[in-house]
Amino acid sequence: MKKLLSVMAIFFATTLIYSQSNMSDINSRGKKNDAQVVQHGNTNTSDIDQVGWYNKADVSQKGHLNNAVVDQIGSYFSYAKVTQVANRNSARQTQRDFYNIGKIDQDGKANEAVQNQSGANWYSWGGNKASIIQRGNSNRAVQVQNATRFGFTKNVASAEQHGKSNYTVQHQFGSGNNSAVDQRGEGHQAFEYQDGYANKSTTNQKGGGEDDEPELMTADEGSVTEAHESYVFQLGNGNVQMTDQKGNGNDAYTSQIGNRNTSTTKQTGHNVLSYTLQMGDGNIAYTEQAGNGSFSATSQFGDKNTSSTTQDSKSNESYVLQVGDENEQTTFQTGNSNESWEFQYGDENSATTEQHGHDGWSFIKQKGNDNEANVDQRGHLNWSLTMQCGNANEASVVQRGMENSSKIFQRGYGNTSDVVQHGGGGNGNGCGNGGGH
């Protein structure tokens, strides 16, 4: 009886150790291989290597200290997925060649997911798809898709993160690529890099945790309890970028170099900050920020630039610089400590600044052909300075209420100045010279 109990004790102990120390290693070559691994318990590790076409790898891990590595080489039309539930999850997937699909789904804390896809080229006319979904805190997601710059490789990368302190990096090389990042929770960071032609990037960040409810702020500070951050850098032609951030402590930086660029940044609420830089042809930048400590700076160099900045309430500031052809800029700010500068050098420039209420101050400088400047400020400490130098310039400033003051300097050809001010303190003046009206 003692001998039987001893054997049973050894058996159960061995079973317990085995369930808490799972390991898996699968190697397969050829076509249409299917590998599935399910691990429940602690300290799980899995490694799958597949060489060939139409292969499938599916790893599911539940427990602690999970680690999964999937490599698919020469893997046309292959599929790889890793699902991990627990803490300290780590997953890495590598797929080479094209028409592959890679998915990583992680639920827990301190998750890390890395996907690397390469091999799409000009004759494939179709790329790889990579997606990462992470739920929990301190998540890290990195996706790299490498392809030739010629032809439409059409790689797609998407990352979705729920929780706190999330970080996403997505790099895409090639043409016709699509990158999307969706982050919800607190302390987000997103970086997207695209090198190629006709690429598209979308970033969406929303704070407030699981229920998307923003945390309380003091009335004076508009303080940041949840931090958004987004970085986008694009090289090439026909790039499109959109950043949408809701919640507290928003940051967005967008940089585009190339032709036919479009950038849209929308941030709602609290400590928002945005920079947009565009170099090239046919650039359009639109920035909308609502609420609390807003700041926006937009710079455009090149042809056919258009920029529109809308900021609503609280400490608004906007600086826009345009150098090039057919530039057009509109800044609309409502309420509180408004400040707006607009610089334009080049051809057919037009600048419009509207500030409604509170401590507004506007400065417009135009230098070049066919310039037009309009400033409309309503209420409180308004003060405007407009300078124009060069062909067919027009300037109109309308200020209503409180401490209005305006100065206009015009020099060159066909200048017109019109200033209307109502009420308040010392009203200023306007002056122009040249062949004006």
pLDDT in tens, 41-70: 878 889 999 998 888 999 999 887 889 999
Answer yes or no: is 436 within a domain.
no
Nearest to 71 by CA among 98, 54, 92: 92
- β strands within 74-177, DSSP E: 79-85, 90-96, 101-107, 112-120, 129-135, 140-147, 156-164, 167-173
pLDDT value of position 44: 85
Q: Report whether 113 contacts 131 (CB < 8 A).
A: no
Answer yes or no: is 311 within a domain.
yes
The model carries a pTM of: 0.65
Q: Which of 1-10, 78-87, 100-109, 358-367 shows the lowest per-residue confidence on average (mean pLDDT)?
A: 1-10
Answer yes or no: is 378 within a domain.
yes
Answer yes or no: is 9 within a domain.
yes
Amino acid letter at 97? D
Nearest to 138 by CA among 108, 182, 183, 115: 108
Asked whether residue 436 carries a pLDDT value surpassing 80, the answer given is: no
- 185, 190, 260, 307 from 226: Cα distances, Å: 8, 15, 34, 29
Q: Report whether 350 contacts 328 (CB < 8 A).
A: yes
Q: How far apart are CA 16 and CA 21, in angstroms?
A: 9
Number of other CB atoms surrounding residue 279 within 10 Å: 18
Q: How far apart are CA 56 and CA 264, in angstroms?
A: 39
Judged by DSSP in three states, 61 sits in strand
Q: Which of 9-18, 84-93, 326-335 shows the lowest per-residue confidence on average (mean pLDDT)?
A: 9-18
- Kindly state the average pLDDT of the residues 268-287: 86
DSSP of 171-186: EEESSS-EEEEEEEEE
Answer yes or no: is 62 within a domain.
yes
- Who's near 3: CB < 8 A, 6+ residues apart? none
Answer yes or no: is 428 within a domain.
no
Average pLDDT over the chain, rounded to an integer: 80
pLDDT value of position 308: 92
Answer yes or no: is 404 within a domain.
yes
pLDDT band at 214 (very low <50, low <70, confident <90, very high): very low
pLDDT value of position 166: 83
pLDDT value of position 135: 92
Amino acid letter at 180? A
Burial group, residue 8, by CB count within 10 angstroms (0-12, 13-18, 19+): exposed
pLDDT value of position 150: 54
Quick: pLDDT tens for 297-328: 889 888 899 999 888 878 888 888 888 889 99
- The total of structural domains in the chain comes to 1
Percentage of the residues of the chain whose pLDDT score is greater than 90: 19
- According to DSSP, the residues that pair with 310 across neighbouring strands are 288, 332
Tokens of 422: 């109502």
- 56, 59, 113, 236 from 83: Cα distances, Å: 14, 6, 11, 35
**What is the domain range of residue 279?**
2-422
Helices (H), 347-391: none
**Widest CA span in the chain:** 117
Nearest to 343 by CA among 369, 373, 317: 373
Q: How far apart are CA 169 and CA 141, in angstroms?
A: 6
pLDDT value of position 212: 38
Q: How far apart are CA 240 and CA 282, in angstroms?
A: 12
Quick: pLDDT tens for 180-195: 888 887 777 888 888 7
pLDDT band at 125 (very low <50, low <70, confident <90, very high): low
Q: How far apart are CA 145 and CA 232, in angstroms?
A: 16
- Kindly state the average pLDDT of the residues 114-132: 76
User: Higher pLDDT residue, 214 or 299?
Assistant: 299
Tokens of 330: 């509109």
Number of other CB atoms surrounding residue 345 within 10 Å: 18
- Kindly state the average pLDDT of the residues 73-87: 85
Answer yes or no: is 430 within a domain.
no
Place of tokens 């101050």: 361
Number of other CB atoms surrounding residue 128 within 10 Å: 31
